[in-house]
Amino acid sequence: MKNKSGARVNQKTTAKVYVIVLNYNGFEDTRECLRSLEKLSYTDLETAVVENGSSDGSAEKLEKIRNIRLLKSSANLGFAGGCNLGIEYALERGADFVLLLNNDTVVEPGFLDVLLRCFAKDETVGIAGSKILYDGKDKIIWSAGGGVSRYLKRTFQYGENRLDDGKFDRARDVDFVSGCCMLIRRDVLEKAGLLDPVYFMYYEDVDICLRAQQQGFRVRYCPEAVIHHRVSASTNRSFRDYYRMRNYLILLKKHFPGAPGIAVRTAAALIERLGRIVTRKIVYRDTEKQTARVKQLFLGLRDGVRYEIKNSCIK
């Protein structure tokens, strides 16, 4: 189409967004998340739910929900692998942006418009995340963007468990945003790759943000965009200990190589995690479960040390 002067005019005025929601034995949470998405003021979007090998009958229930695209996996691919199934679907259909959204979240109606404005202001912004508040708690922050400490390379969430009193209301560049709510520009996925499935769960969000920055993109925290996180416990705590330990070591090897530094950082991470487990063991007198957690922690340490870095990111 051309205007009166003969110049070509782009008829596309809005960006096509694909929302990817991963479901694993969490239908009730997923249904509430989808209900909140229906109230979004931004309308040029499609929602794809990845049914990630659930065993609780979620697939049959999700088939009855209208206005979503249901993608099924016969096995649990983990967060990274399951999201990649949805990301590939979105890219094949011409998505400009892909929004990764935890199924245990509820979004505010205008949050997506705000996130998209972060990209419109600067083409170098490749990934953006919202302010995430605990659902059901009075203005307590779950995440206001994430950072990586300078020496130990430990990851942390800004504002975690702090009152949302205005201290985290400034938009800024961050090291990473949580995969709980992550809006990704198509160019990032084409240049940096998809989520690395080797992580299965935990640290895949940090990894893709670091890879995006290596490609020249910025990662942005946008506090005017707000969602609420229920933080449901769909994962066994001992499995979480395993993957957090293992994947932290993989992250170090990929992005912060160097044997002396890795040894010190690994020791610090191990001491911190053991301290948390021992504290729970003493306070709650839950010897059996905490012993299982210690075992998984050391299994994660072993597998993280053994892991050899290779290019496992899907493009």
Extents of the domains making up the chain:
17-229, 237-306
Please state the rounded mean pLDDT for residues 269-295.
Answer: 64
pLDDT at 293 (0 to 100): 76
Q: Which of 1-10, 62-71, 167-176, 271-280 has the lowest mean pLDDT?
A: 1-10
Contact (Cβ atoms closer than 8 angstroms) between residue 143 and residue 195: no
The band of 57, judged by pLDDT with boundaries at 50, 70 and 90, is very high
pLDDT at 196 (0 to 100): 97
Contact (Cβ atoms closer than 8 angstroms) between residue 184 and residue 207: no
Please state the rounded mean pLDDT for residues 22-47.
Answer: 97
The band of 269, judged by pLDDT with boundaries at 50, 70 and 90, is low
Contact (Cβ atoms closer than 8 angstroms) between residue 84 and residue 71: no
At residue 6, does pLDDT exceed 60? Answer: no
**How far is 279 from 93, CA to CA, in rounded Å?**
49
Cα four-point dihedral sign 159, 163, 167, 169: positive
Contact (Cβ atoms closer than 8 angstroms) between residue 186 and residue 94: no
At residue 208, does pLDDT exceed 90? Answer: yes
More confident position, 242 or 219 = 219
At residue 270, does pLDDT exceed 90? Answer: no
pLDDT at 5 (0 to 100): 38
At residue 4, does pLDDT exceed 50? Answer: no
Cα four-point dihedral sign 64, 69, 73, 78: negative
**How far is 284 from 277, CA to CA, in rounded Å?**
10
Among residues of the chain, what percentage have pLDDT more than 90?
Answer: 67
pLDDT at 286 (0 to 100): 58
Please state the rounded mean pLDDT for residues 70-91.
Answer: 97
- Tens digits of residue pLDDT in 169-207: 999 999 999 999 999 999 999 999 999 999 999 999 999
Q: What is the mean pLDDT of the chain?
A: 87
Please state the rounded mean pLDDT for residues 127-140.
Answer: 94
More confident position, 315 or 190 = 190
pLDDT at 27 (0 to 100): 96
Write the CATH number of the domain with boundaries 17-229.
3.90.550.60
The band of 302, judged by pLDDT with boundaries at 50, 70 and 90, is confident
More confident position, 286 or 11 = 286
More confident position, 260 or 104 = 104
Closest by CA to 313, choosing from 235, 215, 174, 167, is 215
Please state the rounded mean pLDDT for residues 283-297.
Answer: 68
